[in-house]
A and B are shown apart, each in its own frame.
Chain A
Amino acid sequence: MAAAMPLALFVLLLPGPGGWCLAEPQRDSLREELVITPLPSGDVAATFQFRTRWDSELQREGVSHYRLFPKALGQLIAKYSLRELHLSFTQGFWRTRYWGPPFLQAPSDTDHYFLRYAVLPREVVCTENLTPWKKLLPCSSKAGLSVLLKADRLFHTSYHSQAVHIRPVCRNARCTSISWELRQTLSVVFDAFITGQGKKDWSLFRMFSRTLTEPCPLASESRVYVDITNYNQDNETLEVNPAPTTTYQDVILGTRKTYAVYDLLDTAMIHNSRNLNIQLKWKRPPENEFPPGPFLHAQRYVSGYGLQKGELSTLLYNTHPYRAFPVLLLDTVPWYLRLYVHTLTITSKGKDNKPSYIHYQPAQDRLQPHLLEMLIQLPANSVTKVSIQFERALLKWTEYTPDPNHGFYVSPSVLSALVPSMVAAKPVDWEESPLFNSLFPVSDGSNYFVRLYTEPLLVNLPTPDFSMPYNVICLTCTVVAVCYGSFYNLLTRTFHIEEPRTGGLAKRLANFIRRIRGVPPL
């Protein structure tokens, strides 16, 4: 019960030295950005990134005063002495072959790793996961780019992924001190047919049912980037409305791309119209309707028949015409698929391909899964097949999931590679470049880092018939009863001639008693 009571202020505090001094300059900063990319298949991908950088050495100072950095995460880092934390929730699958390489991909499930790697396949991502994620943002869906995050539109998409990444970064070039960087990212892919009614045009209002009104007062940078690489002045392929004030050109993921930049902190931008609704209209289809596919993509499947054995195969495609590059493949296979590592074969173009590095950690039943990590050199323009045979294990009867289940999920495998880029890129300056460029920076501009995830797999394990105990009891009892009963009848049944019942109750009672005694009745 709240009570506003007049407090007897007998606690008198003397203002100590510096009681009115100005607070130190703020040590944390927020940058937010939204990148909208039309994908080759006609869908539209939108990637939000909110980056809070906090110049404090959390673990050493024992700091516990938070401003922009959320208190919940700061306490986690301080208590468990975390170095890095990446947690992502994803629904759907990023189709690398059709959509091109992603900026930031996450496996199709919950994934978190802190010096360890854990994946929970088949968890459902919904509004209840989005709301606490939004609460971690300083402006919390009231101002800035976060007003666009409305759950009913965001979950109406082919791919939805939200993630939290915490990592230490260097404060200066020599890395004498570190700051903590928190990146919250949200990627969605809007299906053209559902959202755009079949046309490839899009607008912010059509996608998010909201428009941008004001910038977040706490952000030092708040920008929207629209990919207009297909824009050609002469052909008039597309038109962006309102016209951007500046453009940004850089080599992103190996190709040269052009972005239209809208800066929300630019007062002229917002004052022109009360709200900012960016629209894109296609005048005519772009020249290269199907741009070259990504250089690296992968597929995984389970083959075999029956419920005892099977084979797990991963196909790695390298479509680069003349460059070969290495790929790091990380596989976590649950313990109930017992891998036979001696059957591991890697073939490229029909010939055997020996990996330059293999690390294998066998599984322990019910404790840890198999861990297989390999560095494979993919020859140019080839398909590499990595296959391994396995046997399915029989679980204990309490470990089976209830009857109406899909099966057991195998988490996706992770591919990390430095893919050679078609165009050389400049080295990235951390603070100046946009956030989507500095996520996986590389020092050498001739290749870019890509992390891909394959599909999660579904396998069936041999499941015993759980109705058998009931059946056995029924059958045994019935058979025994029928056979035994019939035999017993044969052996023991005798036929008597029944006298008509005469005499009263007393005689019947007397007969009853005589029968008990075994004496012939009256």
Chain B
Amino acid sequence: MLDEPQEQAEGSLTVYVISEHSSLLPQDMMSYIGPKRTAVVRGIMHREAFNIIGRRIVQVAQAMSLTEDVLAAALADHLPEDKWSAEKRRPLKSSLGYEITFSLLNPDPKSHDVHWDIEGAVRRYVQPFLNALSAAGNFSVDSQILYYAMLGVNPRFDSASSSYYLDMHNLPHVINPVESRLGSSAASLYPVLNFLLYVPELAHSPLYIQDKDGAPVATNAFHSPRWGGIMVYNVDSKAYNASALPVRVEVDMVRVMEVFLAQLRLLFGIAQPQVPPKCLLSGPKSEGLMTWELDRLLWARSVENLATATTTLTSLAQLLGKISNIVIKDDVASEVYRAVAAIQKSAEELASGHLASAFVASQEAVTSSERAFFDPSLLHLLYFPDDQKFDCLFFCPISQHSTLVHLRGGSIMGKPLPSTLLPNSCGRALASAVIKGPGIGHLWELLPHSPPSWLALSVGYSLMGVQEVAAQMWCSVCVVEVPASSRFGIKQL
């Protein structure tokens, strides 16, 4: 088709308007969407030419750029449940990088000796796609073969086609038992996307996946949003006749990679664009990704990052408002400032249309805000409850006693106490309550008041081991279980 003149800046679109009778486009097509941020619209000689052409341009531009449903899908996590339908498939959460793992599941190695050229397939098909997506994050790919890994569901036999099938309702239960053997990545913190290729065992061959109408799915594969995809690869029945078990199976990597790449696009939320009528959509180049699709992804990601960063910082502020114990250190504060600055910069860049720098700034904003929010030093003094700060009030009883005596009009050595020493009304009310009830006031009165008995008491303390005596005295004050102790004639209540 058209030769692409130069590399377009990210986030921009070029629309060429050609004459009505030009032969660049087939006769019945009104517009064409190219793989690299260009589009062609057929002009028209008409009274309303500008309006019609304008409408066509707008339609084309809307097909190629950010629309509401893409935005809604990106912000799905932050919207309340009723605002978006549960049917919408949620794309992957925005992250700095992803790990993609291809696993071959062979539950029956006695019957099938499966070989797959995964290294070549990754090099030829997956790596170009990931290189095209490299602006969206770091990707790493690995693969493994798992033997004796069964699906968790027993397939049912369909006598009409003499094959086994997995119902659509069973599919959610398939993943769980396998997942424990897939292993999470020990080496990195990025989210993992799993693509499983399942070769069913001889007893359950061939195995098909049925959709809700009961018809077998053409690609024999299904995917789970935010997790990955599974494809069932049936061994050709002709292969069994020739040789004894185990049968050597060479996996057709082209077929498999077509399915996996399509699933990868869907997992990232790169959906089929809504082409306007009479529009010719050029297929993607060999990488499998059109450049303006990448732009849409980056836009959606930037918005999602901004929403996440804002939510995190708001949560942090609310948390600080509620719990006054949290101490914010200087480095946490600088992260918060950096996050705020990055959010502002990203918003400005988005407004002026510089997509690449906006995306980078939004990623910085998310990283800084998460680092500030999840800093372990925030929790350092969180669990210091208020009641433990009041441990020093053991000396209450002494002050109570003083107030008691004052109230009863006591005097020191026969002289009345000056009135200025008397405590305020609250203390008085409390003290009068104490006088009335049993307890501390009575205790002092019951104690021996003659000097010889104090002497006996103090000697008793030192001899017996003060710890025990104190415990006993304290127990009697608190009216807890009173142990019998008649050694030194201490009065018990």
Contact = CB atoms under 8 A, between A and B. Distances in A.
Q: Do A and B come from one complex?
A: yes
Interface stretch (B21-29, B281-289, B357-365): B281-289
B145 A515 contact: no
Nearest to B467: A471
Interface string A11-22: 111111011111
A55 to B, nearest CB: 15
B261 interface: yes
Given A72-B183, A79-B187, A138 B141 contact: no
B187 A75 contact: yes
B140 interface: yes
User: Secondary structure at chain B's binding surface: helix, strand, loop or mixed?
Assistant: mixed
B266 to A, nearest CB: 8
Interface stretch (A165-173, A197-205, A482-490): A482-490
B452 interface: no
A22 B89 contact: no
Interface residues of A, number: 69
A71 B183 contact: yes
Given A4-B209, A65-B118, A485 B147 contact: no
Contacts of A217: 109-110, 246
Contacts of A496: 409
A10 B282 CA distance: 10
A214 B470 CA distance: 74
A482 B447 CA distance: 8
Contacts of B80: none
A185 to B, nearest CB: 21
A364 to B, nearest CB: 24
Interface in B239-298: 246, 250, 252-254, 257-259, 261-263, 265-266, 272, 283-284, 286, 288
Interface string B299-328: 000000000000000000000000000000
A475 B470 contact: yes
Interface in B213-244: 217-219, 221-225
Interface stretch (B54-62, B68-76, B166-174, B343-351): B166-174
Given A2-B224, A7-B263, A139-B148, A75 B186 contact: yes
B124 A3 contact: no
B181 interface: yes
A21 B119 CA distance: 12
B181 A135 contact: yes
B221 A4 contact: yes
Given A19-B253, A486-B454, A11 B262 contact: yes
Contacts of A484: 398
Interface residues of B, number: 94
A11 B142 contact: no
Nearest to B444: A485
A71 B102 CA distance: 11
Most buried by B among A484, A486, A496: A486
Contact of A4 (B168, B225, B254, B449): B168
B50 interface: no
B340 interface: no
Nearest to B209: A4
B148 A482 contact: no
A492 B187 contact: no
Contacts of B449: 486, 489-490
Nearest to A73: B186
B461 interface: yes
A89 to B, nearest CB: 18
A473 B471 CA distance: 10
B156 interface: no
A222 to B, nearest CB: 14
Interface in A12-38: 12-16, 18-23
B119 A65 contact: yes
B383 interface: no
B219 A6 contact: yes
Contacts of B118: 65
Most buried by B among A2, A471, A484: A2
Interface string A29-67: 000000000000000000000000000000000001111
A70 B259 CA distance: 26
Contacts of B258: 9, 11-13
Interface in B440-460: 444-445, 447-449, 454, 457-458
Contacts of A120: none
A14 B286 CA distance: 8
Contacts of B223: 2-3, 5
Contacts of B10: none
A486 B447 contact: yes
A143 B140 CA distance: 33
Contacts of A6: 211, 217-219
A439 B454 CA distance: 80
Given A478-B473, A485-B401, A78 B187 contact: yes
Most buried by B among A13, A66, A70: A13
B158 to A, nearest CB: 16
B144 A67 contact: yes
A479 interface: yes
B414 interface: yes
A486 B140 CA distance: 81
B187 A13 contact: no
A474 interface: yes
A115 interface: no
A327 to B, nearest CB: 37
Contacts of A64: 140-143
A140 interface: yes
Contacts of B186: 72, 75-76, 79
A307 interface: no
Contact of A15 (B140, B254, B477): B254
Across chains A and B, which 8 residue pairs bring their CB atoms closest together, nearest first? A64-B142, A475-B470, A4-B222, A79-B187, A2-B171, A142-B148, A75-B187, A66-B144
Interface of A: 1-16, 18-23, 64-68, 70-72, 75-76, 78-79, 135, 138-140, 142-143, 214, 217-218, 471, 473-475, 477-486, 488-494, 496, 515-518
21 contacts: A4-B168, A7-B218, A8-B262, A9-B259, A66-B145, A76-B186, A79-B187, A140-B148, A143-B110, A471-B467, A478-B470, A478-B473, A479-B466, A479-B470, A481-B397, A481-B401, A483-B458, A486-B447, A488-B402, A489-B444, A494-B414
Given A1-B172, A64-B140, A475-B470, 18 more contacts: A4-B211, A5-B223, A10-B262, A11-B265, A11-B284, A22-B115, A70-B183, A139-B148, A218-B147, A471-B467, A474-B473, A477-B397, A478-B473, A484-B398, A489-B445, A491-B413, A492-B413, A494-B410
